[in-house]
Protein backbone atom coordinates (compact mmCIF):
# COMPACT_ATOMS: atom_id res chain seq x y z
CA UNK A 1 0.00 0.00 0.00
CA UNK A 2 1.26 3.46 -0.93
CA UNK A 3 -0.04 5.52 1.95
CA UNK A 4 1.75 8.46 3.63
CA UNK A 5 -0.99 10.51 5.30
CA UNK A 6 1.57 12.28 7.50
CA UNK A 7 3.08 13.71 4.28
CA UNK A 8 -0.23 14.12 2.44
CA UNK A 9 0.79 11.17 0.26
CA UNK A 10 3.69 13.05 -1.30
CA UNK A 11 5.49 10.94 -3.86
CA UNK A 12 9.14 10.04 -3.45
CA UNK A 13 11.30 7.76 -5.58
CA UNK A 14 10.08 4.31 -4.37
CA UNK A 15 6.42 5.34 -4.71
CA UNK A 16 7.07 6.88 -8.13
CA UNK A 17 8.58 3.55 -9.19
CA UNK A 18 5.52 1.67 -7.94
CA UNK A 19 3.23 4.01 -9.84
CA UNK A 20 5.22 3.25 -13.00
CA UNK A 21 4.88 -0.51 -12.45
CA UNK A 22 1.24 -0.59 -11.40
CA UNK A 23 -0.38 -0.37 -14.88
CA UNK A 24 1.97 -3.01 -16.26
CA UNK A 25 1.16 -5.32 -13.36
CA UNK A 26 -2.57 -4.86 -14.00
CA UNK A 27 -2.20 -5.66 -17.66
CA UNK A 28 -0.48 -8.93 -16.75
CA UNK A 29 -2.91 -9.88 -13.97
CA UNK A 30 -5.77 -11.91 -15.45
CA UNK A 31 -7.81 -11.50 -12.24
CA UNK A 32 -7.62 -7.69 -12.22
CA UNK A 33 -10.22 -6.26 -14.58
CA UNK A 34 -10.70 -2.58 -13.65
CA UNK A 35 -7.97 -0.47 -12.00
CA UNK A 36 -9.60 2.38 -10.07
CA UNK A 37 -8.59 5.18 -7.72
CA UNK A 38 -9.52 6.34 -4.24
CA UNK A 39 -7.79 7.95 -1.26
CA UNK A 40 -9.90 7.79 1.88
CA UNK A 41 -7.16 8.52 4.40
CA UNK A 42 -5.45 11.70 3.21
CA UNK A 43 -5.67 14.41 0.55
CA UNK A 44 -4.15 13.03 -2.63
CA UNK A 45 -4.62 12.03 -6.19
CA UNK A 46 -5.15 8.37 -5.59
CA UNK A 47 -4.63 5.11 -7.31
CA UNK A 48 -6.38 1.90 -6.38
CA UNK A 49 -8.12 -1.26 -7.50
CA UNK A 50 -11.05 -3.13 -6.12
CA UNK A 51 -8.47 -5.28 -4.35
CA UNK A 52 -6.00 -2.72 -3.00
CA UNK A 53 -5.55 1.01 -2.58
CA UNK A 54 -2.63 3.06 -3.86
CA UNK A 55 -2.26 6.82 -3.43
CA UNK A 56 -0.17 9.58 -4.96
CA UNK A 57 0.11 13.35 -4.70
CA UNK A 58 2.65 16.12 -5.36
CA UNK A 59 6.01 14.83 -6.45
CA UNK A 60 9.64 15.75 -6.29
CA UNK A 61 11.11 15.87 -9.79
CA UNK A 62 11.53 12.39 -11.23
CA UNK A 63 14.12 11.74 -13.91
CA UNK A 64 13.09 12.26 -17.51
CA UNK A 65 13.06 8.51 -18.11
CA UNK A 66 10.92 7.67 -15.08
CA UNK A 67 8.49 10.49 -15.82
CA UNK A 68 8.08 9.25 -19.37
CA UNK A 69 7.53 5.70 -18.13
CA UNK A 70 4.84 6.90 -15.73
CA UNK A 71 2.86 8.53 -18.51
CA UNK A 72 3.28 5.88 -21.19
CA UNK A 73 2.78 2.87 -18.92
CA UNK A 74 -0.66 4.17 -18.00
CA UNK A 75 -1.48 4.95 -21.62
CA UNK A 76 -0.42 1.40 -22.52
CA UNK A 77 -2.87 -0.08 -20.00
CA UNK A 78 -5.56 -1.86 -22.01
CA UNK A 79 -7.97 -2.29 -19.10
CA UNK A 80 -10.44 0.43 -18.08
CA UNK A 81 -9.10 2.72 -15.37
CA UNK A 82 -11.40 4.58 -12.97
CA UNK A 83 -10.18 7.48 -10.83
CA UNK A 84 -12.20 8.27 -7.69
CA UNK A 85 -10.90 11.55 -6.31
CA UNK A 86 -11.60 13.00 -2.89
CA UNK A 87 -9.71 15.81 -1.22
CA UNK A 88 -6.78 17.43 -2.99
CA UNK A 89 -5.48 16.22 -6.36
CA UNK A 90 -2.50 18.53 -6.73
CA UNK A 91 0.52 18.62 -9.02
CA UNK A 92 1.50 15.11 -10.03
CA UNK A 93 -1.54 13.95 -8.06
CA UNK A 94 -3.82 15.72 -10.50
CA UNK A 95 -1.93 14.30 -13.46
CA UNK A 96 -2.13 10.75 -12.11
CA UNK A 97 -5.86 11.12 -11.46
CA UNK A 98 -6.37 12.34 -15.03
CA UNK A 99 -4.58 9.30 -16.49
CA UNK A 100 -7.83 7.43 -15.85
CA UNK A 101 -10.44 6.66 -18.49
CA UNK A 102 -13.20 7.83 -16.15
CA UNK A 103 -12.78 10.38 -13.33
CA UNK A 104 -15.38 10.40 -10.56
CA UNK A 105 -15.03 13.29 -8.12
CA UNK A 106 -16.32 13.60 -4.57
CA UNK A 107 -17.78 16.99 -3.73
CA UNK A 108 -14.70 17.63 -1.57
CA UNK A 109 -12.31 17.10 -4.50
CA UNK A 110 -9.98 19.91 -5.50
CA UNK A 111 -7.90 19.73 -8.69
CA UNK A 112 -4.86 21.90 -9.42
CA UNK A 113 -1.58 21.73 -11.28
CA UNK A 114 0.52 23.72 -8.82
CA UNK A 115 4.01 23.42 -10.26
CA UNK A 116 4.02 27.11 -11.14
CA UNK A 117 3.89 27.92 -7.41
CA UNK A 118 7.30 26.25 -7.15
CA UNK A 119 8.54 28.22 -10.17
CA UNK A 120 8.81 25.13 -12.37
CA UNK A 121 7.03 23.94 -15.48
CA UNK A 122 4.25 21.36 -15.60
CA UNK A 123 6.47 18.70 -17.12
CA UNK A 124 5.13 15.50 -15.58
CA UNK A 125 2.25 15.14 -18.02
CA UNK A 126 0.10 18.13 -17.15
CA UNK A 127 1.05 19.86 -20.39
CA UNK A 128 -0.11 16.74 -22.24
CA UNK A 129 -3.44 15.96 -20.57
CA UNK A 130 -4.91 19.30 -19.51
CA UNK A 131 -5.17 20.79 -23.06
CA UNK A 132 -6.79 17.59 -24.32
CA UNK A 133 -9.38 17.60 -21.54
CA UNK A 134 -10.30 21.29 -21.25
CA UNK A 135 -8.95 22.88 -24.49
CA UNK A 136 -5.70 24.76 -24.86
CA UNK A 137 -6.50 28.26 -23.64
CA UNK A 138 -8.15 27.02 -20.44
CA UNK A 139 -5.28 24.61 -19.84
CA UNK A 140 -2.75 27.42 -20.18
CA UNK A 141 -4.72 29.53 -17.72
CA UNK A 142 -4.79 26.84 -15.03
CA UNK A 143 -1.19 25.74 -15.61
CA UNK A 144 0.06 29.35 -15.51
CA UNK A 145 -1.93 30.30 -12.41
CA UNK A 146 -2.07 27.05 -10.46
CA UNK A 147 -5.65 27.97 -9.53
CA UNK A 148 -7.65 25.34 -7.69
CA UNK A 149 -10.74 23.82 -9.29
CA UNK A 150 -13.61 22.49 -7.21
CA UNK A 151 -15.39 19.27 -8.12
CA UNK A 152 -18.41 20.77 -9.87
CA UNK A 153 -16.25 23.14 -11.92
CA UNK A 154 -14.01 20.19 -12.81
CA UNK A 155 -17.07 18.37 -14.11
CA UNK A 156 -18.19 21.36 -16.15
CA UNK A 157 -14.71 21.81 -17.63
CA UNK A 158 -14.36 18.14 -18.51
CA UNK A 159 -11.82 17.02 -15.92
CA UNK A 160 -14.38 14.79 -14.18
CA UNK A 161 -17.17 12.66 -15.59
CA UNK A 162 -19.45 13.00 -12.58
CA UNK A 163 -19.60 14.39 -9.02
CA UNK A 164 -21.05 12.49 -6.07
CA UNK A 165 -21.33 12.96 -2.33
CA UNK A 166 -18.15 12.01 -0.46
CA UNK A 167 -19.75 9.06 1.29
CA UNK A 168 -20.94 7.65 -2.06
CA UNK A 169 -17.62 7.99 -3.91
CA UNK A 170 -16.28 4.49 -3.42
CA UNK A 171 -19.70 2.96 -4.03
CA UNK A 172 -20.01 4.86 -7.31
CA UNK A 173 -16.53 3.87 -8.48
CA UNK A 174 -16.92 0.22 -7.55
CA UNK A 175 -20.39 0.15 -9.09
CA UNK A 176 -18.96 1.29 -12.42
CA UNK A 177 -16.06 -1.15 -12.04
CA UNK A 178 -18.54 -3.99 -11.47
CA UNK A 179 -20.51 -2.94 -14.52
CA UNK A 180 -17.38 -2.88 -16.68
CA UNK A 181 -16.25 -6.30 -15.47
CA UNK A 182 -19.45 -7.71 -16.97
CA UNK A 183 -18.58 -6.27 -20.39
CA UNK A 184 -16.39 -8.09 -22.92
CA UNK A 185 -12.69 -7.52 -22.25
CA UNK A 186 -11.72 -7.23 -25.89
CA UNK A 187 -14.53 -4.83 -26.66
CA UNK A 188 -13.39 -2.50 -23.90
CA UNK A 189 -9.77 -2.69 -24.98
CA UNK A 190 -10.72 -2.13 -28.61
CA UNK A 191 -12.64 1.00 -27.57
CA UNK A 192 -9.91 2.66 -25.50
CA UNK A 193 -6.62 1.52 -27.08
CA UNK A 194 -7.02 3.56 -30.30
CA UNK A 195 -7.88 6.68 -28.28
CA UNK A 196 -4.87 6.11 -26.03
CA UNK A 197 -2.76 5.79 -29.16
CA UNK A 198 -3.87 9.31 -30.05
CA UNK A 199 -2.95 10.49 -26.55
CA UNK A 200 0.45 8.81 -26.90
CA UNK A 201 1.06 10.58 -30.20
CA UNK A 202 0.45 13.91 -28.46
CA UNK A 203 2.64 12.87 -25.53
CA UNK A 204 5.42 11.95 -27.95
CA UNK A 205 5.44 15.55 -29.17
CA UNK A 206 4.85 17.43 -25.93
CA UNK A 207 6.43 15.37 -23.16
CA UNK A 208 10.13 15.54 -24.18
CA UNK A 209 10.07 19.33 -24.24
CA UNK A 210 7.89 19.79 -21.15
CA UNK A 211 10.09 17.44 -19.11
CA UNK A 212 13.29 19.09 -20.32
CA UNK A 213 11.97 22.56 -19.50
CA UNK A 214 10.79 21.37 -16.09
CA UNK A 215 14.23 20.02 -15.28
CA UNK A 216 15.92 23.23 -16.45
CA UNK A 217 13.51 25.33 -14.39
CA UNK A 218 14.54 23.40 -11.28
CA UNK A 219 18.02 24.87 -11.64
CA UNK A 220 16.69 28.43 -11.81
CA UNK A 221 17.19 30.65 -8.72
CA UNK A 222 13.45 31.33 -8.62
CA UNK A 223 12.77 27.66 -7.91
CA UNK A 224 15.18 27.71 -4.98
CA UNK A 225 13.50 30.89 -3.74
CA UNK A 226 10.05 29.32 -4.07
CA UNK A 227 11.10 26.24 -2.11
CA UNK A 228 12.69 28.33 0.66
CA UNK A 229 9.65 30.61 0.87
CA UNK A 230 7.31 27.62 1.05
CA UNK A 231 9.31 25.99 3.82
CA UNK A 232 9.50 29.21 5.82
CA UNK A 233 5.89 30.21 5.00
CA UNK A 234 7.02 33.50 3.47
CA UNK A 235 6.23 35.32 0.22
CA UNK A 236 8.73 34.43 -2.47
CA UNK A 237 10.92 37.25 -3.81
CA UNK A 238 11.55 36.11 -7.36
CA UNK A 239 14.60 37.30 -9.26
CA UNK A 240 13.23 36.82 -12.77
CA UNK A 241 10.03 38.87 -12.92
Check pLDDT > 90 for residue 4.
no
pTM: 0.80
β-strand pairing of 110-112 with 149-150: antiparallel
5-167+178-232 is classed CATH 3.50.50.60: no
Secondary-structure breakdown of the chain: helix, strand, coil percentages, each rounded to the nearest 5: 55, 15, 35
d(CA 89, CA 72): 20
d(CA 178, CA 122): 34
Residues contacting residue 108 through CB under 8 Å, at least 6 positions apart: 86, 87, 151, 166
CA-based torsion, 193, 1, 160, 119: positive or negative: negative
Report the Cα–Cα distance between both ends of the chain, in Å, rounded: 42
d(CA 11, CA 201): 27
Domain regions of the chain by residue span: 5-167+178-232
Considering the chain, what is the average pLDDT of its residues? 81
Q: What is the pLDDT of residues 26-56, one digit of tens each?
A: 777 766 655 554 444 434 433 332 222 233 3
Q: What is the pLDDT of residues 118-163, one digit of tens each?
A: 999 888 889 999 999 999 999 999 999 999 999 999 999 999 999 9
211 CA to centre of own chain: 15
Let me know: does 80 contact 190? Beta carbons within 8 Å.
Answer: no
Q: What is the pLDDT of residues 53-79, one digit of tens each?
A: 233 333 344 467 788 888 999 999 999
Q: What is the pLDDT of residues 175-201, one digit of tens each?
A: 999 998 888 888 999 999 999 999 999
Amino acid sequence: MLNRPERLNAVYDPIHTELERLPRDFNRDKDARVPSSSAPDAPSAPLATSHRTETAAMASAPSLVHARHLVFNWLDCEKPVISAVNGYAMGLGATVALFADVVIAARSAIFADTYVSMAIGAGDGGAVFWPLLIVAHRAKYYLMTGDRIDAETARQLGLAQTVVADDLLLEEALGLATRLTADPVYGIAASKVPINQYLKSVADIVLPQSLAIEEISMMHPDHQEAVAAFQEKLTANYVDR
